[in-house]
Structure 1
Amino acid sequence: MYNYSLHQHINQSLLKMELDITGKDNLFYTRFMANASALRSLYTDLYGSHQKAEEVFNALINTISQAYINRPDALQKADLIKQQNGIWFLSNDITGMSLYVDRFCGNLANMPAKLDYFKELGVNFLHLMPIFESPQGESDGGYAVSNFRKVDDRFGTLEDLQTLKAKMSAEQMYLMVDIVLNHTSYRHEWAEKAKGGDKNYQDYFYMFDDRSLPDAYEKAMPEIFPEAAPGSFTYVPECNKWVMTVFHNYQWDLNYKNPVVFNAMLDNILFYANLGIDILRIDAPAFIWKEVGTSCQNLPQAHTLLQLIKQCVQIAAPGMALLGEAIVAPKEILKYFGTGLATAKECDFAYNATQMAVQWDALATGDVRVLMAAQEEVLKKPYGTSWITYTRCHDDIGLGYEDYMISDAGFNPYEHRKFLKEYYGGTHPVSPATGALFSVNPKTQDARISGSLASLCGLEKALAANHETAINTAVQKILLMQAVSFFLGGVPMLFYGDELGYTNDYSYLEDPGKSYDNRWMHRPVIDWNKNDQIHIEGSIEQRIFTATQQLIKLRKQLPMIADNKNIHWLNIYNIHVAGYIRALNEKKLFCLYNFSNRASYLTWYALKEHGIPPTVLFDHWSKTTYTVGRDDEYFILAPYSFYLLEQM
């Protein structure tokens, strides 16, 4: 919408910065004008009544413009190429891996030498877990940042990161890093100045003179870490105030009701964009806006804030996509893509945490009904956005999918979750899994699950018992779980070590800074002698690595796997088997997954209900061709098997 005064104001601001708006900077100028009204509207929704609203809005225009001016020519060219290719991140060519740099290879300077490893596997997108400065022993795994622009000495230097990115770009690889929007470390410069009595910086945080407002907030705020960090406020003796600390007492929540805070953090976001970051992972966006009397999670203003960030990034650095790390209820996750007029204009990515969790549900029970009950919500993701699909990540496995999904499958929600916790916690008598419960709430008995993909699939116990059949079963489970994630659509994200079957790493128990947090058991220290086993025929490492490599290769060969909102779940008529169709033009791929420890029988009729019934199917995984039988005949799926059947 044209807004004369706003556009003239921006026009004059850009001319003062000596931008050539009719020449080399015209694309930027065009983007700014096209997004100006939305930018102003979103900003006004949040800050229109703030006394510094106009002053900070003018500063915001300058922040966006300066970021563009600072953007290297190579990145501006990359922006243009990405835009010319449509929505670049929907491609089936992208497969990612998430890793801790220090635990993977020591430091950033060693990372370029490992790029051949990723190329051999087929991974072309890396997520480096937090690498910016955070205090040892009070880092929350790097999510308590004390300097957003300094790489922590443990990992190297900013120059090391830039060197890695340059080499990745030369290999056509993408990079993702985190930005922690919700809070800073209490040792961040802003927090130190607040502790020293600087009122301007105290306004960067939620700081109070007494417990009146903290108590009012806490009446409706759930505890995030009830065992390790009860409560949501911490007393600060240096300034005799209480500060909001939703996660840990060393993580101070930023006050986004102050537009100065928004502008300062946007400047950090655009700094990352100009490092060449392709996808920026926004940590814990559900928490970034707080209101008394609410849970302080998933509030409407949080979505407005993210939409405002998206507009700013779209103007200054359109080649960078945004991932909202919102691990919340299924209906809430979908809101992070934007709703109403803002649909597909908020976060470009979200984690498909619901799908991940219900896959683990299906693996434990051998029953896919809960998995299927979840799909109605998952399928509502709007076109133009995408999922990060995964089986494991650095975090725990939550069981936060809604009770009705469990009830609709015929289970009692409480008893069902209790079974899952016992099964993956390794205390159930029939469970082959080796895991642990994380963050148990003593009041409600709510808990999450820690453990590596391989250990939760039974490989750790099987290897300890030297039981060949159990080993083979565990390997098959690992591949089954990965295959579901790889072919759903979205960008599959491996967690480092899973590509060759790392089991739980218990060395964290010897580190006082980690021993209290059992999530470190599935964050292994890589032994490169073990990784060399991928080249030894018949080794566990070689079997899992080669199979994962083949899954990635197949994904890249099948264009219908691109995330074009082209997935349709099948009615399988068998509670042990899940299946869906991925279609593109006249091509159809039937993806079938048997979660049972026994052979499952699938009526051929299940594959004939959508469009022209297939007569011949080719399985890309086993390289086997099948002739489709009559409706009263069955396709037999082996235990824990999967099939990628293309209609011929």
Structure 2
Amino acid sequence: MQEPVNSLEQKLSQQLSFIYKDITLEQSFDDIARSLIAIMRLKSDFTIAEPFTNHWSEKDVILITYGDSVIEKDTAPLKTLKTFLDDTISKTINSVHILPFFPYSSDDGFAVIDYSSVNESLGSWQDIQAISKDYHLMSDLVINHCSSRSVWFDNFIKGEGIGHDFFFTALPDEDLSAVVRPRTSPLLKEVETGKGKKFVWCTFSHDQVDFDFRNPEVLIAFTTIIRQYLDMGVKIFRFDAIAFLWKISGTPSINLPQTHEIVRLLRSLIESAEPNAIIITETNIPNTQNLTYFGNANEAHGIYNFSLPPLLLNTLLTGSCLYLKRWLMSMPPSQDGTMYFNFIASHDGIGLRPAEGLLSEEELGTLVQTIEGFGGKISWRTSDNGEQKAYEMNISLYDAMQGTTAGKDQWNFERFVCAHAIMFALEGIPGVYIHSMLGTQNDYKKLEHTHHNRSINRRRWDKELLSQALEDNNLHHKKVLSSLSSLLEIRINQPAFHPNATQFTLHLGLQLFGFWRQSQNRKQSIFCISNISNKPLALPLSELNLVITESWTELISGAEITDLTEELLLEPYQTVWISNK
């Protein structure tokens, strides 16, 4: 019978024994565990954290942004970002995800050259700390790969120094046919090194070389990085591309058991060092696989709700909530200690893999064609049988809402706000892309300059031009910012919108999408209903079974509901939040 684990050292040793069970190591598991504990400045007999604790509330909303999404002359972009946060969103958004702010060589930051420093073109660690003092700071841990221009990879090529044994290699004649890829580039990169010709594994691009976590020194190196980020004020860790971490030739090399155990081990270290710190895993994979990263409330605190963006977009472009409702009904409630991270736009495009098995091939094809008609671009991947499949739709969310599958119409703004009203009310923590808050449209200039499809939704706003746009009543930007801010101001004051509050899907037909939220103390109920069509629709309040002894208010308009037998007329894409408090 296995002895109960009652100390951090024992727990880490057990986790290490599982991760490296098939690998001969020079160090014992206990020695490695003690090294990790020392790096994190902990004690070996540290008490293990309680896993079912929520470190969040309805007041948590995360803004997703690059460090230089807003720029001004002669000012470090991170300082400009801090000013933007303070002046524009601080009343409604308390957290900020600054996308990789380190020196990099490609992929807008996700090919990291140096994990320990801030990109000089953005600012300094002091600027990062200044933001972390006023906002919950979320940072990427780009843990699967680094830049081919990093010192570590230079040492790999030389065959000596730190990093010389950090990278995963394979042979071209190995069976790699089952490997799951998000890109169409060759998996292996041929490199001449001081130890001869090597073939380096590159999941994403040949500038992004994959680490070999079979070497525990890689794990130790990333523990040092995590400790530094905690010291700099990072409280939320986004584990980038974590699903691809552990590789075994002859397998899909995605979501392997060792990967899950490494996430659990890093959680053990992080929450022991900072009890309120949070891990969110970024796994752009089919929905059922994504859910496994919750573990038993001992793995990721949060997972990206990757199926939401394509399903919600499909709902609003087709005028039918069939697939969105079916998916929502199938989603398990997040147990205490875990939460969904909801988003509908980000620095990446709208991924289609998480919609596989949820939308039919015909539905996916129609969605892709519609987005192309709205000026979007499509990124492709190679499937198991060698077929080219749409992997991601690249478009600004505002432009993605220009119309329906029938073409463009006059409801762009209303449809866009409706999408956010739905997302803000769902179980989980909402993440809002800065370009959604600002109603930014497709950036064709940047796309033409970089020739990378994702650039279409990564505009850099000149601060002066942005200020002018937000003051111009003839432009939509001011209206978008005001509308989304108003919705968030309501959201953060409703206990029923706690990320772990109860949620049930309502059955109101295919053109009215609705769900019910109830606060954890059961005192507040909110019925969240959206007209997802381009026609006015009547909502019979009798279908909601509102308790007659309660007083009901529509939170968005502030209107009191006095007659529970009446019908509410919902204009195209209008949302109502009907609450008893």
| Fold conserved between structures, TM > 0.5 | yes
1:392 counterpart = 2:345: yes
- 1:509 CA drift (Å): 3.5
**Relative to 1, partners in 2 of residues 1:296 and 1:565: Cα closer, same or farther, differing over 3 Å?**
farther
Asked if 2 retains the 8 angstrom alpha-carbon contact of 1:362 and 1:368, the reply is yes
Alignment partner for residue 44 of structure 1, among 8, 11, 17?
A: 17
Residue in 1 aligned with 2:181?
223
Alignment partner for residue 99 of structure 1, among 62, 65, 77?
A: 65
1:125 counterpart = 2:95: yes
- 1:497 CA drift (Å): 2.3
Provide the C-alpha distance between the structure 1 equivalents of 2:396 and 2:152, rounded to a whole number of angstroms: 37
CA shift digits 1:525-553 (9 cap, x unpaired): 11323432434556422211111111111
1:641 counterpart = 2:578: no
Residue in 2 aligned with 1:22?
none
- 1:335 CA drift (Å): 0.7
Alignment partner for residue 147 of structure 1, among 109, 114, 121?
A: 114
Provide the C-alpha distance between the structure 2 equivalents of 1:268 and 1:629, rounded to a whole number of angstroms: 57
**Relative to 1, partners in 2 of residues 1:403 and 1:59: Cα closer, same or farther, differing over 3 Å?**
closer
**Relative to 1, partners in 2 of residues 1:530 and 1:597: Cα closer, same or farther, differing over 3 Å?**
farther
1:425 counterpart = 2:372: yes
Residue in 2 aligned with 1:446?
390
Alignment partner for residue 577 of structure 1, among 496, 507, 512?
A: 512
Provide the C-alpha distance between the structure 1 equivalents of 2:310 and 2:510, rounded to a whole number of angstroms: 18
**Relative to 1, partners in 2 of residues 1:197 and 1:391: Cα closer, same or farther, differing over 3 Å?**
same
Q: Report the 3-state secondary structure (helix = DSSP H, G, I; strand = E; otherwise coil) of the residue aligned with 1:437.
A: strand
Q: Report the 3-state secondary structure (helix = DSSP H, G, I; strand = E; otherwise coil) of the residue aligned with 1:311.
A: helix
Asked if 1 retains the 8 angstrom alpha-carbon contact of 2:516 and 2:528, the reply is yes
Alignment partner for residue 414 of structure 1, among 341, 357, 361?
A: 361
Code of the residue aligned with 1:415 in structure 2: it is E
Residue in 2 aligned with 1:14?
none
- 1:187 CA drift (Å): 1.9
Code of the residue aligned with 1:258 in structure 2: it is N
CA shift digits 1:68-119 (9 cap, x unpaired): 369xxxxxxxxxxx99x96222x11111211111232352233333332244
Residue in 2 aligned with 1:182?
144
Residue in 1 aligned with 2:466?
531
Asked if 1 retains the 8 angstrom alpha-carbon contact of 2:548 and 2:564, the reply is no
- 1:506 CA drift (Å): 1.5
Q: Report the 3-state secondary structure (helix = DSSP H, G, I; strand = E; otherwise coil) of the residue aligned with 1:568.
A: strand
Provide the C-alpha distance between the structure 2 equivalents of 1:591 and 1:325, rounded to a whole number of angstroms: 28
Alignment partner for residue 327 of structure 1, among 261, 268, 284?
A: 284
Asked if 2 retains the 8 angstrom alpha-carbon contact of 1:60 and 1:263, the reply is no
Code of the residue aligned with 1:647 in structure 2: it is N
Residue in 1 aligned with 2:79?
109
Provide the C-alpha distance between the structure 2 equivalents of 1:279 and 1:305, rounded to a whole number of angstroms: 17
Residue in 2 aligned with 1:277?
234
Asked if 2 retains the 8 angstrom alpha-carbon contact of 1:604 and 1:635, the reply is yes
Structure 1 spans left out of the alignment, 5+ residues: 7-32, 71-81, 407-412, 427-432, 460-466
Asked if 2 retains the 8 angstrom alpha-carbon contact of 1:616 and 1:628, the reply is no
Provide the C-alpha distance between the structure 2 equivalents of 1:277 and 1:600, rounded to a whole number of angstroms: 46
Alignment partner for residue 544 of structure 2, among 594, 604, 607?
A: 607
- TM-score, structure 1 as length reference: 0.81
Structure 2 spans left out of the alignment, 5+ residues: 44-48
Provide the C-alpha distance between the structure 2 equivalents of 1:541 and 1:404, rounded to a whole number of angstroms: 36
Worse overlay, 440-449 or 493-502: 440-449
Alignment partner for residue 258 of structure 1, among 209, 215, 225?
A: 215
Task: Determine which structure has the larger helix proportion and give its number.
Answer: 1
Worse overlay, 269-278 or 396-405: 396-405
Q: How many pairs are equivalent?
A: 560
Q: Report the 3-state secondary structure (helix = DSSP H, G, I; strand = E; otherwise coil) of the residue aligned with 2:69.
A: helix
- 1:356 CA drift (Å): 2.0
Asked if 2 retains the 8 angstrom alpha-carbon contact of 1:397 and 1:450, the reply is yes
Q: Report the 3-state secondary structure (helix = DSSP H, G, I; strand = E; otherwise coil) of the residue aligned with 1:350.
A: strand
1:301 counterpart = 2:258: yes
Residue in 2 aligned with 1:236?
191
**Relative to 1, partners in 2 of residues 1:277 and 1:628: Cα closer, same or farther, differing over 3 Å?**
same
- 1:380 CA drift (Å): 4.2
Provide the C-alpha distance between the structure 1 equivalents of 2:294 and 2:199, rounded to a whole number of angstroms: 34
**Relative to 1, partners in 2 of residues 1:222 and 1:612: Cα closer, same or farther, differing over 3 Å?**
same
Residue in 2 aligned with 1:476?
414
Alignment partner for residue 481 of structure 2, among 545, 552, 557?
A: 545
CA shift digits 1:382-417 (9 cap, x unpaired): 3321122112001111222455533xxxxxx22111
1:363 counterpart = 2:322: no
- 1:306 CA drift (Å): 0.5
Worse overlay, 441-450 or 150-159: 441-450
1:489 counterpart = 2:462: no
Code of the residue aligned with 2:151 in structure 1: it is E
Provide the C-alpha distance between the structure 2 equivalents of 1:510 and 1:303, rounded to a whole number of angstroms: 39
Identical residues among aligned pairs (%): 23
Provide the C-alpha distance between the structure 1 equivalents of 2:22 and 2:285, rounded to a whole number of angstroms: 31
Provide the C-alpha distance between the structure 1 equivalents of 2:326 and 2:42, rounded to a whole number of angstroms: 49
- 1:255 CA drift (Å): 0.9
- TM-score, structure 2 as length reference: 0.90
**Relative to 1, partners in 2 of residues 1:199 and 1:537: Cα closer, same or farther, differing over 3 Å?**
closer
Provide the C-alpha distance between the structure 1 equivalents of 2:489 and 2:356, rounded to a whole number of angstroms: 37
Code of the residue aligned with 2:228 in structure 1: it is F
